Amino acid sequence: MKPVAFRYHAPASVQAAVGLLEEAGFEGKVLAGGQSLVPMMNFRLARPGVLVDLRKVHGLTGVRFEAGHIVVGALTTHEEIFLHEELARRLPVMRAAAALIGHWGIRVRGTVGGSVAHADPAAEWPAVMMALSASAVVSGPGGEREVPMEELVAGPLTTTLEPADILTALKIPEPAAGERSGIYEVARRPGDFALVGAVAKTRGASVRLTWFGLGTVPQSRESERFHDLSEEAQTDQLTAWGQELEAESDLHASATWRKRVAAVVARRALLAAASDDAGLEAGERSGLHV
């Protein structure tokens, strides 16, 4: 099918984009890589009357290393993140996560900001950002503000962004000494959305896990002394978390199955965090295991 007619704007600044969105009200939509929005428009599941394309806005792409933070521009593509050597060195989970997203042709266009703003429950970036305690930098009619990821994602495909808000960057706290992170997911085929996945962040004995593809939003659990536990007690803890987390049933898997596999992907995400590539190589094969 084909999208309904809309008015198209490609402003050159964030300010101009916010102005156009304010004018458009609920008819308006931001267009980034289009890898989620355009399929929805082709099927007329989304019928925006006005599209505000960010492609001409400067300063929204690339990775900056600031004191205490890593700032990833909202329009940075999955592929740019995948290929970024310094980012992969400082935060290898970024490369490992990017490699799990869709296919080459999708990664070349799709953006990290678009993925976070789209808030698909099975998407990697919202969970990675939540696991890393990142915040979203948002520009709107009232100026700029920072929103912690937990407060940004409100439900499946739903965020707390207002219609004239633009996500300009993701701000990730610089990893502390000894901090490691990794990702693992189970999918039918490489490139498919995850049936269940987890991101792990560890430091010393402490562990923070964030699951995706499980419930309607990414969910996290933390333990200060996880690595002090015996292996058996660790497994019990992961199983218990899997059972208490909210899980959805759909065409692809039941909630019962997802809860069980949640413990397995958590264990493998922890192994990924302990590995040098944060799970990149394991991830390339993950689709074949199911």
Partner 1 sequence: MSEPKAEKVAVTLNVNGAERTVTVEPRWLLSDVLRQEFGLTGVHIGCEHGVCGACTILVDGEPVRSCLQFAVQAEGARIETVEALGTPEEMDPVQTAFWEKHGLQCGYCTPGMVLTAKALLDRVPNPTEAEIRHALSGNLCRCTGYQFIVEAVERAAELRAEG
Ligand X SMILES: Cc1cc2nc3c(=O)[nH]c(=O)nc-3n(C[C@H](O)[C@H](O)[C@H](O)COP(=O)(O)OP(=O)(O)OC[C@H]3O[C@@H](n4cnc5c(N)ncnc54)[C@H](O)[C@@H]3O)c2cc1C
In the complex, the residues that contact partner 1 under the rule CB under 8 A are 1-8, 10, 27, 31, 34-35, 38-39, 41-43, 47, 49-51, 53, 55, 79, 102-106, 108-109, 189-191, 284
CB of 21 to ligand X, least distance (A): 9
Q: What's the residue count for the chain?
A: 290
Q: Which of residues 73-102 bind ligand X (CB under 6 A)?
A: 74, 101-102
Q: Which partner from the list ligand X, partner 1, none does 117 bind, CB cut-off 5 to 8 Å by kind? A: ligand X
In this structure, the dihedral spanned by the alpha carbons of residues 88, 92, 95 and 101, taken in order and rounded to 10 degrees, is -160
Tokens coding 271: 């192994």
How many residues of this chain interact with ligand X, rule: CB under 6 A? 29
Stretch touching ligand X by CB under 6 A, among 4-12, 83-91, 108-116, 143-151: 108-116
Nearer to partner 1, 32 or 198 (CB): 32
Interaction between residue 124 and ligand X (CB under 6 A): yes
Tokens coding 213: 């593809």
Interaction between residue 118 and ligand X (CB under 6 A): yes
Q: Which of residues 167-226 bind ligand X (CB under 6 A)?
A: 167, 193
Mask of contacts with ligand X, 22-61, x by CB under 6 A?
A: -------xxxxxxxxx-x----------------------
Interaction between residue 135 and ligand X (CB under 6 A): no
Identified binder of ligand X from the candidate list 14, 70, 76, 115, rule CB under 6 A: 115
Question: Is there a contact between 213 and 261 (Cβ–Cβ < 8 Å)?
Answer: no
End-to-end CA distance of the chain: 33
Nearer to ligand X, 80 or 234 (CB): 80
Q: Which of 93, 99, 66, 67 is nearest to 80 (CA)?
A: 99
Nearer to ligand X, 238 or 272 (CB): 272
Question: Is there a contact between 86 and 63 (Cβ–Cβ < 8 Å)?
Answer: yes
**Distance between CA atoms of residues 100 and 177, nearest Å:** 26
CA of 252: how far to CAs of 50, 182, 255, in Å? Answer: 34, 25, 10
Burial class (CB in 10 A: 0-12, 13-18, 19+), 229: middle
Nearer to partner 1, 184 or 211 (CB): 184
Alpha helices in the chain (DSSP H): 14-24, 37-42, 78-83, 85-90, 92-99, 104-109, 112-118, 124-131, 149-152, 231-244, 255-274, 280-286
Residues near ligand X (CB under 6 A): 29-37, 39, 74, 101-102, 106, 110-111, 113-115, 117-118, 120, 123-125, 161, 166-167, 193
